[in-house]
Structure 1
Amino acid sequence: MSNPVGVHGLVWVGGWSPEQARRAVAGSAEAGFDLIELPALDPASFDVALTSRLLAEHGLSAVASLGLDDATDVSSEDPDVVRAGRRRLGHALALVRDLGGDYLGGVVYSKLGRYTAPVTARGWAHSVESIAWLADRARESGITVGVEICNRYETNVLNTVEQALAFIAETGRSNVVAHLDTYHMNIEERSMREPVLAAHRAGLLGYVHVGESHRGRLGTGTVDWDAFFGALREVGYPGAITFESFSSAVVHPALSSALSIWRDTWDDGMLLAREAREFLRQRLGQDG
């Protein structure tokens, strides 16, 4: 499998200051990755010119992901909150466009964090309409929008691939895809194989996160990697596979609470990244 292999920026840094940007991009290249996934939680704060130069210098491509918060939750019933969410999504889309990227994903359809009640019918409608709105603008720049399916403690909108496929169908937009994440699948799905096949059958398997059950080192938890990579191979998935891991050693302030990052699952980002790259190289049958 010749998939592009990426690494999430939060493996390296908790923000995107010039120094952090240099460290994250250089580290990703040194560890052998093809792309870096930018944590665009505050997309307007990115130095696009610097980031673009760093990517070119190190021969990396970039995608971006984010999760919304209470003030920007497009699944809210409050029209003002939905409008604020669309503004933030628009900033993230502009970041991807200006960096020459072709993918924006993550929890772009709701708040990233725990809810205390199910999504309402109006909230679901606002979310669908917002992603359709985003997709229309993304299409103008050749960008695909991915809806990341997350566990019940991080969203109340899309917890399973079945829900995501129904949601995407409601948007009616051909550039919206399903973003699978093994960490979340391991919590919510009945197997690691069937969601891959279902998304593929629908023509909507667009992006993949690989994360271990405890968000630490790959291969040291309970994720059924044989089933998952077997399914990717079975359907001939050609897209990006990006390693994502979180530790209290490197935390974005907005994510510590939202993702319940309370402990060190690792403390050396370079060691973690090198091990992950080798793990993926072996699973994908790639040459060193």
Structure 2
Amino acid sequence: MRKLGMNLLLWGNAIDENLFPVLEQIKELGYDGVEVPIFDTNPDYWKVWRNKLDELGLARIAVTICGSDFHQISADPAMRKATLERNKQAIDCAEVLGAKLLNGPYHSALGVFSGKPATAEEWNWAVDNLRELAEYAQLKDIVLGLEYLNRFESYLVSCADELFRLVEDINHPACKIMFDTFHANIEEKNLGDAIRLLSKHLVHVQVSENDRSTVGKGNVNWPQIFEALNQVQYQGWLSVEAFSPKLAVANIWRPMFDSETQLMTDSLAFLKDKA
């Protein structure tokens, strides 16, 4: 059976020791591990997290994003350099945490747009900087799992075809792909075809409903997804990524589920039946 994980952004973006009781509940419910968002890029910050996760026997994957202050494809070379260094620090944090994957859309800044498609120059900046980042990750025995977002959140890559081409152009063994069903549900004609395309580089799957609530309770075509995952013999994690009004950046203004416990319990039951 594939490992089943839980993303901690369900409780908002305050990733601190107040979440340790949540980690205990996640373990008690039967999840194998957690996705830990790396916002604080001081490696020392994550030592206590590693100890707690080790104590609970929870596996962990690191995830990170870049806001407007860190745009990897900015026309400003100083910002591109600062972003590369910031993402290297996120790798250092993942290493301290004990994670072997650093996932997310850090190829560019969340919510930053130029008003037009990515230019060839922007594309080449991404390729060069992410290849250097992959070189650094490989030294730390960490793999990058790049994620595409939907068109309303990012413009460098917003579908499977584009992300596949980016990773092919980067052409580094430590640079791979993660797949998020929420974004794919918006952008893809066929979810199964997207998975089959990405399977060459696929290292992680986030399972997320169309409304970011309980997995299996929305309109995502789960039979199509699981058929494709089984066909390509995907053996990585299935990790629940659900959001609530606690995460303001997600723009969720009404409750989409009864409680975090209900969402985790029902999502886990759904995945255990499929995984």
TM-score by length of 2: 0.94
2:105 and 2:274 map into 1 onto residues whose CA distance is 27
Distance 1:46 1:265, change over 3 A: farther
The alignment-based identity, stated in percent, is 27
Q: 1:16-95 maps to which residues of 2 (within 5 A)?
A: 16-20=15-19, 22-44=20-42, 47-95=45-93
1:276 aligns with 2:267: yes
1:46 and 1:214 map into 2 onto residues whose CA distance is 35
Deviations 1:4-55 (A, max 9, x none): 11110112343122222x1332232122111110111333287222101110
Deviations 1:158-207 (A, max 9, x none): 1111111110111120121111111111100011110111112xx21111
2:186 and 2:69 map into 1 onto residues whose CA distance is 27
1:17 and 1:46 map into 2 onto residues whose CA distance is 13
1:120 and 1:55 map into 2 onto residues whose CA distance is 42
1:198 aligns with 2:172: no
Report the 3-state secondary structure (helix = DSSP H, G, I; strand = E; otherwise coil) of the residue aligned with 1:14.
coil
1:24 and 1:134 map into 2 onto residues whose CA distance is 32
2:83 and 2:244 map into 1 onto residues whose CA distance is 27
Match of 1:223 among 220, 225, 239: 220
1:270 and 1:105 map into 2 onto residues whose CA distance is 25
Q: 1:139-288 maps to which residues of 2 (within 5 A)?
A: 139-200=138-199, 203-248=200-245, 250-251=246-247, 256-257=248-249, 259-266=250-257, 268-284=259-275
The amino acid across from 2:252 in the alignment is I
1:84 and 1:27 map into 2 onto residues whose CA distance is 37
Deviations 1:60-99 (A, max 9, x none): 0111111111110102111111122112211210111112
Deviations 1:192-232 (A, max 9, x none): 110111112xx211110100011111122110000101110
Contact 2:43 2:89 in 1 (8 A): no
The amino acid across from 1:185 in the alignment is A
2:172 and 2:67 map into 1 onto residues whose CA distance is 24
Match of 2:96 among 98, 103, 111: 98
1:62 and 1:168 map into 2 onto residues whose CA distance is 24
The amino acid across from 2:158 in the alignment is N
Distance 1:42 1:118, change over 3 A: farther
Report the 3-state secondary structure (helix = DSSP H, G, I; strand = E; otherwise coil) of the residue aligned with 1:111.
coil
2:156 and 2:213 map into 1 onto residues whose CA distance is 26
Structure 1 residue 240, shift from structure 2 partner? 1.0
Moved more, 208-217 or 37-46: 37-46
2:149 and 2:28 map into 1 onto residues whose CA distance is 30
Q: Which runs of 5+ in 1 are unaligned?
A: none
Report the 3-state secondary structure (helix = DSSP H, G, I; strand = E; otherwise coil) of the residue aligned with 1:242.
strand
> Number of paired residues?
274
1:46 and 1:224 map into 2 onto residues whose CA distance is 41
1:111 aligns with 2:102: no
The amino acid across from 1:162 in the alignment is D
The amino acid across from 2:76 in the alignment is D
Distance 1:51 1:188, change over 3 A: same
Q: Which residue pairs with 2:6 in the alignment?
A: 7
Contact 1:41 1:66 in 2 (8 A): yes
Report the 3-state secondary structure (helix = DSSP H, G, I; strand = E; otherwise coil) of the residue aligned with 1:135.
helix
1:79 and 1:114 map into 2 onto residues whose CA distance is 17
